């Protein structure tokens, strides 16, 4: 640590003329992509040196890593999750020329500072219509949030009555993006909201109905940090698929205000600073293996709809969700259907 702090201090005090230009991430920018690409201008040199530091506090930085791109390169990319979320980083570069076997370093570029955040848009492009639920019996979990209403009960209510009750109980509004809601779709969503842990539910304020987004394979999406979920035609054709997708996307909403819990999930199941590198254990679904955020969303979906399977095959994930996401609430897997 002392060596790293000394090195960054030396870099900060360099007063030679700047030569290289750093394009991206530009100084003062906020990065929300999980994979970060560093871009710079091309120099007439043998290779480059790039240094990256992570801010520890207001007065110090620690060394994160370095690279030596070839002279023909003008960009390098860090894999998804290699940089921590909600951190400040600085990066700096310089060219190197090798003349008659002697290394001659060029001047440092200016320092560029940037911050990191969660990806803004998270989509769910795989079918969530089947969690492998077989109508489990003998489950020790308790049902719902104190006994929520069944779909059969809610489906007898009018669309306006569902709107009123969902707003009054949970502060959730059904909104139209480009497609009108059917009464049956609202009833399916309401059943999920009424049977899942209340504090988890109340983080979502809007559920939008939309026909299509980007591709036919996308079922739903959300903007992390914003309390809205978008459900598409591709998932609303089936009530089972719709409520599975809704639970998945609501978990992404949860990850916004509860970033520390999302980070703890990453450290526990994927290794430090990583979405995929050094994964401690696999997700319950292949789509969950995409990255930390999707792993957590898929695991919560299983916790609600197939708790027996998650508990038996991924017990540590089950216990984490029970303790830190659902506040002790457990499910049988049959409440919402």
Higher pLDDT, residue 257 or 187:
187
What is the per-residue pLDDT for 147?
67
pLDDT for the residue numbered 169: 96
Residue 267 has pLDDT above 90, yes or no: no
For 134-199, give the DSSP string: ----S--PPPTTTSPPPHHHHTTS-HHHHHHHHHHHH--EEEESSSPPPHHHHHHHHHHHHHS-HH
Residue 82 pLDDT exceeds 50:
yes
**Which is more confident, 248 or 60?**
248
Tokens at 216, concatenated: 């036919």
Task: Output the pTM of the full model.
Answer: 0.65
What whole-number distance in Å separates Cα of residue 193 and Cα of residue 187?
10
Residue 200 near residue 258, CB atoms below 8 Å = no
pLDDT at 1: 44
Q: Which of 11-20, 77-86, 211-220 has the highest mean pLDDT?
A: 211-220
Q: pLDDT at residue 235 above 60?
A: yes
Confidence of residue 4 (pLDDT cuts 50, 70, 90): very low
pLDDT, tens digit (0-9, with 9 covering 90-100), for 145-187: 446 999 999 999 999 999 999 999 999 999 999 999 999 999 9
**Residue 260: what pLDDT?**
82
CB 291 within 8 A of CB 122: no
Q: Is the pLDDT of residue 208 over 60?
A: yes
pLDDT score of 135 more than 50: no
Q: What percent of the chain has pLDDT over 70?
A: 81
pLDDT for residue 81? 62
Q: So what's the pLDDT on residue 129? A: 42
Q: For position 11, what pLDDT does the model report?
A: 44
- In order of start, what are the domains of the chain with their CATH numbers? 2-116 (2.60.40.10), 121-324 (3.40.390)
User: Between these two residues, 11 and 230, which has the higher pLDDT value?
Assistant: 230
Give DSSP secondary structure letters for 69-105: -BTT--EEEEPTTSSPTT-EEEEEEEEEEEETTEEEE
pLDDT of residue 89: 93
pLDDT at residue 145 in the model? 40
pLDDT of 3 over the 60 cut: no
Least confident of 70-79, 100-109, 143-152, 158-167: 143-152
Q: What is the mean pLDDT of residues 210-236?
A: 89
| pLDDT > 90? residue 58 | no
What is the overall mean pLDDT for the chain? Answer: 83
pLDDT at residue 218 tops 70: yes
Q: What pLDDT shows up at residue 280?
A: 67
Q: State the pLDDT at residue 243.
A: 97
Residue 227, pLDDT > 50, answer yes
């Amino acid at each position: 640590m002392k060596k790293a702090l000394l090195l960054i201090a030396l870099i900060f005090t360099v007063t030679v003329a700047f030569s290289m230009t750093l394009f991206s991430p530009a100084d003062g920018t906020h990065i929300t992509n999980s994979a970060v690409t560093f871009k710079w201008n091309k120099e007439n040199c043998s290779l480059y040196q790039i240094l990256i530091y992570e801010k520890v506090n207001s007065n110090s930085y620690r060394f994160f890593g370095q690279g030596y791109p070839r002279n023909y390169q003008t960009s390098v990319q860090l894999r998804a999750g290699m940089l921590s979320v909600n951190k400040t980083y600085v990066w700096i570069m310089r060219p190197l020329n090798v003349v008659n076997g002697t290394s001659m370093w060029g001047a440092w570029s200016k320092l560029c500072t940037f911050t990191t955040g969660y990806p803004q848009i998270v989509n769910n492009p795989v079918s969530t219509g089947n969690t492998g639920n077989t109508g489990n019996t003998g489950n020790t979990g308790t049902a719902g949030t104190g006994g929520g209403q069944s779909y059969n009960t809610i489906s007898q209510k009018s669309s306006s009555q569902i709107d009123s009750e969902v707003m009054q109980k949970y502060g959730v509004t059904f909104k139209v993006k480009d497609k009108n809601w059917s009464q049956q779709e609202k009833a399916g969503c309401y059943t999920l909201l009424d049977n899942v842990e209340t504090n988890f539910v109340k983080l979502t304020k809007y559920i939008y109905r939309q026909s299509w987004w980007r591709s036919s394979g996308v079922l739903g999406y959300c903007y992390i940090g914003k309390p809205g979920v978008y459900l598409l035609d591709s998932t609303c054709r089936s009530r089972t698929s719709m409520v599975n997708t809704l639970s998945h996307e609501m978990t992404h909403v949860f990850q916004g205000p509860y970033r520390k819990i999302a980070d703890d999930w990453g450290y526990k199941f994927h290794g430090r600073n990583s979405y995929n590198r050094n994964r401690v254990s696999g997700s319950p679904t292949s789509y969950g293996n995409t990255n930390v955020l999707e792993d957590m969303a898929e695991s919560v979906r299983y916790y609600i709809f197939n708790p027996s399977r998650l508990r038996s095959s991924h017990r540590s994930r089950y216990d984490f969700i029970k303790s830190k996401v659902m506040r002790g609430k457990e499910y049988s897997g049959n409440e919402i259907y």
